[in-house]
Each structure stands twice: as C-alpha cells, then as structure tokens.
Structure 1
C-alpha cells in the first residue's frame, strides 16, 4: 500500500500536476481528432466559471481547474462525481441522504456551490451524480464566488456543463460498457445539421441518450438511470444565435445503501469485513428522482466590442425517499435498525439572466466589462415523515421487512413546509490592463433575497405558521495578475462570500434562519500558473486562507438537523500539473493540503454547551492526491496506472470518531481498433481496499470494492 508521504514525495519529485485540471474547451467547430491530437497543457483558452469576461486560466487571478470531454473520456468516468474526484482537492460521494456531497478547501455541502450550466439551484440534494455521457466539461473555481454565482460558495464552485449542439455537419458517438455487479451502460449521441448543404445550414440539432443500470456492490441495491438531452442551435442572423436545450433525468435506486454500522470498542472506525456487502435497509426502501431542465439562450453580437447574452431557464424535480437509515451494533452482536424516514421534495426554479460584455479603452488602458441582471424564483415543498420505530436483527440472517408496515410512517406523505424564495441581483466585473504585464480584475454583486415559508405542521413559537426573511448580501473580488514571462504568471486576490445562514433556503426552518443574519466569508489567495520544459509541462500552485463566520453545521448526531457555528478557518496549498516525460509517457497529478478547524463553535450535548474549538469539520480530509501514468505502446495500444490518496476524516463534531485514510490503485489497457472504434479494459480499486467514502455518526459508507469493466467507444 502506498503511504501518503511517499505519494506526495513522488509527485513532488516529478514536479507535475494534472492535465485534466488545466485542459480547456476547444472551439466548437474543431473535430474530435484534432482534440485528441492536442499536446501539452493549455492555459490560454477561455473558461466560463472563473469570470464572466471570457478570460483564460492564465488571466484569471484564482485557482481554476477544467476537465474537458477529452479528459472525461480518457479517465473513463462513469458519472459527474468520478469527474470531480479527479480534480485538485475534491473528495465527493453520494450516499442517499447527502445527495451530491463534496468536500473542498475545508468546506462541505452547500458551502461548495454546484452549478449546472452556470445556474445555481441553491440546494445540495439537487446535485446528485449525472451520467458522465451528458457532460461536455466540468470547471472548478477555488474559494468564494458569490460575486459570480450568487449567495453561497465560500469553499468554491463546480460547474457541470452539458453537451449541446455544435455546427458540425454530422457526428455520431456511442458507448457500450459492462462491469462487475452486472453494471451496464448504453449511450449514444448524434449531432446533425438540419440542411444537406453546409453553406446554407442555419440549424443544428444534438440528441444524447444514456442508460446505466446495475445490481450495486451491496445486497439488494439495484439502480437504473435514464438521461436524455436535446438541443437546437439556430443562426437566426449573422449576429443573432439562439440555443434551445432540454434535459431530463430519471433515477431509481432500490433499497438504497446507507452504510454499515461500525464495530464498537475501536479507536478508528472499522466494519466487519465479512459483512461488508450487507444491506440493512428494508426490502422496499427507495430513492427516486425525476429532473427536467429547459433553457433558452440568445446571443447577440452588437458590434466588434459588445455582446449580449440572455438565459431563460426552468428547472423542476421531484425526489422521493423511503428508508430505514440508522444502524448500530447491540451488546449481543445484533444490529439495531432505527430512524425510518419518508420524504418528498418538489422543487422548481424559474429564472432569467441578462449579461452584457463590452471592451473599451479606459484612461488609455484596455478595459473589459461584464454587466448583468439576474432573477430567480425558487419553490420547494417538503413532506418529511419520521417514526420512533426500531428493531433488532441477526446480521447473519434476517428478513429486511417492508417500510409500510412500520408504525408512524405507514400513514404516507404529509406536507410540512413550502418555501418560496425570490432573488434579484445586479453584478459588474472589470479587467483593466494596467501595463503590458500587470492587470487588475474587480467584481461586485448585490443580491436581494426574499424568502417566505408556510408551515403546514404543528405550530409553535419555534415553528410559526408563516414567516419571512429578507437579506441583501454584497460580495466582491479584487485580483492582480502579473506576467513574469509569456509562459509564467503570478496572481493575488481577495474575495468575499455572502452565504445564507442555513446553507440552503430550499428546506430551511425557522430555527435555521429566523434569528440569524447572513454568514460572511473572505479569502486571500496567492498563486502561479506556468509552462516549462519548452511547453512539454505545465503546472499551477495556489496558497489560500478562508475565514467563514456565523454558519450552519450539520448535527453529527442527527443529520436532519443543523446547529450554528461561530467561525471556521481553512488554510491550504494546491499543486497540479502535467509533464510529457517522453513522446510516449505522460505523467499527471495533483495534491491538496488543507488545515481546517473551528475557531468558535459551542455545541449543546445533553443540554450542556461544549466547545469544539480546534476541531476539524466532519468529512474533511486534510490531504487529497491523484496520480496517473499513461504510456502509448504503439499507435493502437495504450495503457496506464493510477493512484488516489484521501486522508482520514472525522465522523462527528467532537472528533472522537475517525475513519482511516486510504489509497486506491487502478489500471487500464486500451486498444484502438481503427480511427472510429476503441476498446478499453479497466480495473478500479485494484487491491480491493475497504474504505469509507463518507463517515457520519456510527456509520461507515463504504466505497466500491475491486471492479472490472470493459467498454467500447465508437465515433463516426
């Protein structure tokens, strides 16, 4: 097993970082063969998430990572969490109760914003994994970004950008995959010009469909996901373009796996390896979601210096849960099952964003502007029904039972709250070229948040029938970039965050937000981005400190509740890069270290206030590293190995429960049959490591064991 120190030293010796973090989007008109033939790390292509000015990674005074379609395919990512776990400093998992869980720069949950095509849904449960087939690229911005994407995102922002129609005359992509545990995937994508003559084509359509299903790596845990995306790109005039995009996802998981109970009497969290695949949920446990996106995008080129972009969007989703969620060992060695929970989320967002970009001279200096207005209307109704039921089963042999025979939850769904939040915002961003080498980047955003909550449950002083709150956060960024040489840039930035007191208004209670003001955050960051060795290598380095005040922390004893913390500080370093060692050997990797701890946090324990000062947040590893080596044996054959290290994490606010760190190894071999077809065999978790992807309370959410898979990719 590779020790964490040896992994870090190996990466430091090679002085490289991951290419997927620095890979960028190529022009939509370039063909796939050209994308695959691109060599070296590119720092000079436009990115979308770090700025509204269309700046490159080199021009942006912040840590920005990108995984484009080429990197997604090279890694054989199955879903969006596979993609982001390969990015610098990210540790993500998706157990049923935590949706799209992400840890980054010492922060988790809603403290890391996850965007879909630049749109913020403001709710981490809405960010469950998406099939990687639907993604064109994923971008990661480190640190606060409220000034770009609205209230939230003190730790960073992740932007999932889906495939959409391009001006290619015709392309057809397909993928067939089979893996351990009867895991299957079938995917196809078609891009088609709606005219036979390229000279007169004005409309282009793209259709993508994927279906993935499998039996899961624990007992009774089958899952099926269908995803569909349709987009139409129309050149209405030489200066006016419209894109209409529709995306739909349906996800169903039977008897969801909520984790294994830990063995008592151990200083580190451990599970019984002989029962690692046991599932203690009820037989008819369920997670289901149906999600629909609709986007209408207009681009108008006013003149050579001015463009206008408008995005009108609507999102709707329904998510259903019915599970027995908590398990622990009794003194007799049996398993106590508890916390039956029935829930439905009905979630919708309607919004519009208008952006204007303008280039001009300001006091004789080159200046770029982005100005805009943003409006969204979010509604969510929640139907939580919980019970006090528990039972005790023999883990060797038991009847999982039925959810609807459990007293307290057998009455079905009961509407409890409806949340309505309107957000109106104005933003501005500017880049001023102070000299040939020095540039100043500034940004400012004002939000007006208006929240109304209707309580349909029992009314009390702490849970009134109706309440409303309004907030007016102001956030911004000031950054400098300095070009030491054409190949090396230094940057420094200061940015602020305005976070909501509960982390999410989509399900906040009066106790979460009724008496609390906005949470405030700020970051200082220094870094560099540079090419070296005549362009054969590229690297980035970032040093940062983030301080956040007055925010909600999930109660480690009851994940459905939150408690308030006073202040947290995160300090860290991130390294990433890529090096073409020889014409055939490519080395890539990244490493992140963070020291995250509470400065002020008093938690009530059995009615007594206990200080958590100096403790680390739950599920935040201090170190995350990735390493890849790939080798082209011939023009047809290629192979490689990879390693991933994740440090130990705490499972409770008291830091008394600790899940050990782990290292995962993998390997692949790829055969290119011809220019259109390739076949890949891959092994994940080569050593069959038993590890916790996430830990909470007395439970250990185990990651997948060793898996084998083979996939055939086709492109015509």
Structure 2
C-alpha cells in the first residue's frame, strides 16, 4: 500500500499576551454581559492576587488604593473601608457583586485580601450595576473559586511591632461532580502605641456541585472576626501634628472596637443552550459591631494636657437577606442581560453618648484610665429597607469596529424606622432610575477609543440611617460624561489607558437661602479629571506598573447657614494621586520598589485645615528557594515618613512607621 504524502506543516512561535493585561479580561464587575475591558466603554481596572502577593498588600485598603485615583479616608468610625474616587466619597464595596446595606456610613468587610482572586474598581456612577451609593466608584472583591485541580497555598510571616500573619488556601475535587475551596487567614499586631494592638481572622468556604456540564450549584459560607486598633488619631495644633505626640494614644484602657460578620450564599447557573443562561443567587449577610471609646482629643500646648471628650458607645446589628435572578441571552449580534434584585435589610442601633463628660490627661505621659460615663447604653432605633430593582443591559456589536452598549435600571426602596425612646414610627419610599449609554470604536485589534454617558443616584445619608429630619429628601442624582483610550502593546509587552471624565451631582443638602436655619435639597457638586494607567514589560527582567490621576472637585452650590462654600473642595479628596511599581527579576530573585503619592486634602468642606500630601516608599525582595517556596523581605515606609492618612474631629490618623516583615509562601 503506497504511503500518502502528508501536507507540509509550518510551526511558528507566537508569544501569548501577558496574563497581567487588565484590558484583556472580561469586565464582569462593570457589566452584566461578557465584554472585554478593552471593548468596554467605561473605566474599570483592578489588582490581581498575584500583584497583591508581589507587593505584600494583605489589607484590602492597602491593595485597592494602588489602583488609579482611589484614596482612603478610613477610620474606626466608618469601619475602615471608606474611599474617595473622582471627587466623591460615595464609593460602594461589594463581594462578587453583592453590596451589604450600609448603616451609619459603616463598611467593615472584607478587610483582608486573602482568598480573593482580584479587587476590581469600576469608576464613576455604578448604579446600573450596584444601585444607590456608588457615585464615585465601586470596589468589587472577586473570590477565588473551587477547582477540580488540587492545589494548596500557605503563608507565614513575622515582622515589626509583633506582627504575625498566617494564611492557607486549598482547593480540589471531592468526587466526580463535587469540588471545594477553603481559605483561612489570621493576623495580629502589637501596634506602635498603647491600645494599638489589633487582630483579625476569617474563614471562607465554598462547595461546587456540577451534576452535568450545563448545570452548576455553588454554596459559600464565611465568618470573620475583627478587633482593629483602638487609636482615634493624634491631636493637631494649627493644622500640624506635634511630633512628640506621634506615639501616644489617649483612649481608655477598656476601649473596644469589634466587628463580627457572617455570609452565606447559594447560587445556581444553568446554561440552557449556547444563547441562553439562567442564574439565581440567594444570600444572607449579617454584621455585629461594637464601639466603646473616647473619640475626641484637644491639645493645649500651654499646659501640656489633652482634654478628652465624646464618650461614645455604639452597637450595630445588621442583617440582609436577598435574591438576585438574571438571564443572559445572545440574539444575533447582541449580548443581553435582564434581571431582578431583591433584598431586605434590618438594622438595630444601640448607643450611649455623654456630651458633658470631659477628662484631662498629660499629653506626654497620659494615664488612660477607664470608662467613667454614667449614661446608660440602650437600644436607640430599628430600621428596615426593602429594595427591588429591575435592570436590562445590551451590548450590540454593530460590526467589527463598533460596539454600542446601553443599560437601564430602576430601584425601589421602602424604608421604615422605629425610635424606641419615643415610639415614633417613620415610613418612606424612594426610587431612582439609572442608565448608561456608551460607544466603543476599535481602532486596531489592540486599541480602542470610547465615549459614554452614565447616571446614578445617592441617598442623602445611608438608607438604613434615615431619620425624620431627612425623611422629606429624595435621592441625589448624578451624571457622568467620559471619553477614553485603551491600548495593548504588541506581543503582550504591556498596555495603557487614559480616561477624561466630568461628573455633576445635584440635590445635595444645603441651607435654604430664604431661611438659613432650614436645610433643603438644592446644592450641587462636580468634578472633572484625567486618569492614566500603564503596565510595561520593558525587557525580560524589568516590569513597570504606574498610574496617576488628577481630579478638580468642587461644590458648585452649597450654603451652610449664611456661609457660602461654593468653590470649596470636598473633604478627604486629593487633587493628585499616583502609584509606581518597578519589578526587576534575575534568576530566582526579584526586587520590587513601590511609591505611593497622595496629594494634600482638606479635612472637611470648610477648607480651613489642610492635610499635607505624602509619598511612601515600599520595597520587596523575593527569593524562590525552589519551585514551591518563596521567601520575601518587605520594607514599608522606608523613609519613615510621618504622614496623615485621614482625619477625624481635630485629630489626624497617622500612617504606620517604617517596618520590616519576613514572609514565607508555599504552594503545593
């Protein structure tokens, strides 16, 4: 039998795009439909788990503020997860797309980055995706998922100020149809000052059942316990920190800050056929929080004393149950998602506030003492919010060059409140419509330009905290116009993006010009700016990652009594932020150097006290001992810069001193 000649086959080496390219990923945190970030007519980026490990950023705040334009205004009273983006402090925090109902401006979970595949940031109004309270941006923590391929990762560390961390993550198959993932993490530190000790721990678990190829069920159950530092800032004099007070804490010895969280979720996904997918998620979230502190300190240099005031004890109990149902279908050149969100949140608040009690201690050698208020700690009020939302989003691929995306969402909120001391009841209904329309023009296979208009809405305070004085207000409305450019470099050598934006928000609370003692909705606030990001593989050894943002934010119309604050910059909003990381690798070694810059900020809307800008330098040196083990030496704040990260009352929260940490990471 004659042999048949085979056709000639030519093999060419093709370098794949770098897996770090943000623009190549599906923008799942910014859209209900599957669209690459390169094609999305909006600004979205994130920080991957690989980047968080390279930079040794194990806190969500430290990790996510490496992204462009996002700065932290965190302090104990807001739970430690408060941010500013694009000139607004209305920044939502979600986990896998589910936002916990915000009560009294407090968000405290997730606090650590362990167990998350990435932290995504969608910039600008995100009401189409997440509802109210997301005018500046939304942070979405994306969990690591169960896999049938077995793997285990382990982290152990020790460092300055008695800091220790331990983390373990494991995934694998249980049977032919079952797989699991477990992530556990804990950390503790003695801190830099008295009462600065902190500890936290969490357990994240997930079980996936795939009875057949088109059907998947997921169960997740998490618990978290946090006891953060009981440091409420350092007093200032004439807008400056007295260096001699840097390491002092004026809180009481029996001060307490504690957060306990539980989360459960059941999710089902059925891929009916190539064009239709059905999803449903049922979830329960709960958080119990407690504060017992003296929160105000006034320094008198003449006699070297601190006057302590605001004896405050607060308790929160938040529960939220909800269901999210969605259908994706792909008719012709469209990708369409429609869905319904329902949630029922319950909030109970207890408190004790002593506004008359004041105590005095030495500024340099304080005797902290103990809680001495006689005001009883009692339940204050209970509130509930029922939310229903309907949405539809469409991505229409007009042709190979043009993509048109549009979406609309309608939210209905039913609020009720009962004040225990007076038995006064309050009922209120609010609603809002948000939409987004964007157009992307593909210039080449690796570059695109886009334009979009989006709208959003914010409550005048967190919905669960509405009271009688704010019951007559409607949702504040905002609108953003944005244009941008995105480009991947050839051969996966990197990428860069640019975005120009303008956001205008109206119906914020202002004093009535006709009656300055009364407040009305009528104020306006706006911002405009430029954001740049880039990641470049300069050569095989050197990689550079950088971003910078400029934001011009102001109040356009704002009265406080008879004082006109139009033209002032909102508090805790820097004009300029920037991040740079350089990574140099040779053989089994890698050296990384990072710079974080945050420009000056005003402590509040009066613009009378300015916190100076700062630059912090961090470094990581890593050695791959073998393919399974990496040792890293981390240096944080290498120049030992004294800087303020946020403000509260007349106190500034000072950033950590210089520290070192040794970390071992193992993978099996």
What TM bracket, shorter-length normalisation?
Answer: over 0.9
Query: In 1, are the aligned partners of 2:346 and 2:382 still within 8 Å (CA)?
Result: yes
SS of corresponding position for 1:97: helix
1:480 aligns with 2:433: no
**1:611-636 Cα deviation digits (max 9, x unpaired):** 110001111111110001110122x1
The 3 A distance-change label for structure 1 pair 40 and 335 is closer
Alignment match, 2:415: 451
1:240 aligns with 2:215: yes
Alignment match, 1:198: none
TM-fit CA distance, 1:407: 2.9
Query: In 1, are the aligned partners of 2:528 and 2:551 still within 8 Å (CA)?
Result: yes
Alignment match, 1:588: 545
1:286 aligns with 2:253: no
Moved beyond 4 Å, runs of 4+: 36-40, 562-565
Query: In 2, are the aligned partners of 1:488 and 1:529 still within 8 Å (CA)?
Result: yes
1:62 aligns with 2:42: yes
Alignment match, 1:116: 95
Query: In 2, are the aligned partners of 1:418 and 1:454 still within 8 Å (CA)?
Result: yes
Query: In 1, are the aligned partners of 2:56 and 2:620 still within 8 Å (CA)?
Result: no
SS of corresponding position for 1:83: helix
Match of 2:144 among 131, 142, 163: 163
1:336 aligns with 2:324: no
Alignment match, 2:173: 193
1:610 aligns with 2:575: no
What is the CA RMSD across the aligned residues, in angstroms?
A: 1.7
Alignment match, 2:403: 439
The 3 A distance-change label for structure 1 pair 318 and 39 is closer
1:549 aligns with 2:506: yes
Query: In 2, are the aligned partners of 1:652 and 1:696 still within 8 Å (CA)?
Result: no
Alignment match, 1:23: none
1:73 aligns with 2:47: no
The 3 A distance-change label for structure 1 pair 40 and 117 is closer
SS of corresponding position for 1:181: helix
Query: In 1, are the aligned partners of 2:248 and 2:364 still within 8 Å (CA)?
Result: no
Alignment match, 2:513: none
Query: In 2, are the aligned partners of 1:652 and 1:697 still within 8 Å (CA)?
Result: no
CA distance in 2, matches of 1:507, 1:162: 29
1:697 aligns with 2:652: no
CA distance in 2, matches of 1:37, 1:185: 34
Query: In 1, are the aligned partners of 2:191 and 2:198 still within 8 Å (CA)?
Result: yes
Alignment match, 1:179: 159
CA distance in 2, matches of 1:37, 1:632: 19
Alignment match, 1:92: 72
Alignment match, 1:383: 350
Alignment match, 1:8: none
**1:535-561 Cα deviation digits (max 9, x unpaired):** 3121000000000112359xxxxxxxx
Alignment match, 1:26: none
The 3 A distance-change label for structure 1 pair 209 and 565 is farther
Query: In 2, are the aligned partners of 1:565 and 1:602 still within 8 Å (CA)?
Result: no
CA distance in 2, matches of 1:375, 1:663: 43
CA distance in 2, matches of 1:37, 1:489: 17
TM-fit CA distance, 1:167: 2.4
CA distance in 2, matches of 1:40, 1:473: 37
1:524 aligns with 2:481: yes
SS of corresponding position for 2:231: coil
1:671 aligns with 2:623: yes
**1:623-668 Cα deviation digits (max 9, x unpaired):** 110001110122x111021111100010122101001000111111
SS of corresponding position for 2:640: coil
1:150 aligns with 2:138: no
Alignment match, 2:378: 414
Alignment match, 2:573: 620
CA distance in 1, matches of 2:559, 2:509: 12
Alignment match, 1:227: 202
Match of 1:506 among 449, 464, 477: 464
SS of corresponding position for 2:129: helix
TM-fit CA distance, 1:122: 3.2
1:650 aligns with 2:602: yes
CA distance in 2, matches of 1:270, 1:650: 13
Alignment match, 2:367: 399
Consecutive unaligned residues in structure 1, runs of 5 or more:
1-35, 196-200, 460-464, 554-561
**1:21-59 Cα deviation digits (max 9, x unpaired):** xxxxxxxxxxxxxxx994562522212111010211012
**1:413-450 Cα deviation digits (max 9, x unpaired):** 31111111000111000011122201110000011110
**1:574-632 Cα deviation digits (max 9, x unpaired):** 0001111111011110001100000111113xxxx211100011111111100011101
TM, length-normalised to structure 2: 0.93
Match of 1:316 among 286, 297, 301: 286
Query: In 1, are the aligned partners of 2:335 and 2:396 still within 8 Å (CA)?
Result: yes
TM-fit CA distance, 1:120: 1.4
SS of corresponding position for 1:94: coil
SS of corresponding position for 1:70: helix
Alignment match, 1:490: 449
SS of corresponding position for 2:325: strand
The 3 A distance-change label for structure 1 pair 641 and 496 is same
Consecutive unaligned residues in structure 2, runs of 5 or more:
1-15, 511-518
Query: In 2, are the aligned partners of 1:94 and 1:129 still within 8 Å (CA)?
Result: no
SS of corresponding position for 1:43: helix
Alignment match, 1:132: 113
SS of corresponding position for 1:383: strand
CA distance in 2, matches of 1:347, 1:563: 29
Query: In 2, are the aligned partners of 1:522 and 1:548 still within 8 Å (CA)?
Result: yes
CA distance in 2, matches of 1:158, 1:564: 28
Alignment match, 2:271: 301
Query: In 2, are the aligned partners of 1:154 and 1:521 still within 8 Å (CA)?
Result: yes
The 3 A distance-change label for structure 1 pair 565 and 423 is same
Alignment match, 1:105: 86
Query: In 2, are the aligned partners of 1:114 and 1:127 still within 8 Å (CA)?
Result: no
1:683 aligns with 2:621: no
More strand by share: 2
Query: In 1, are the aligned partners of 2:634 and 2:661 still within 8 Å (CA)?
Result: yes
**1:162-203 Cα deviation digits (max 9, x unpaired):** 2231222x11110001121101101111112113xxxxx210
Query: In 1, are the aligned partners of 2:27 and 2:40 still within 8 Å (CA)?
Result: no
TM-fit CA distance, 1:93: 4.5
CA distance in 2, matches of 1:457, 1:574: 49
Of 120-129 and 368-377, more deviation after overlay is shown by 120-129
**Residues paired across the two proteins, number:** 640
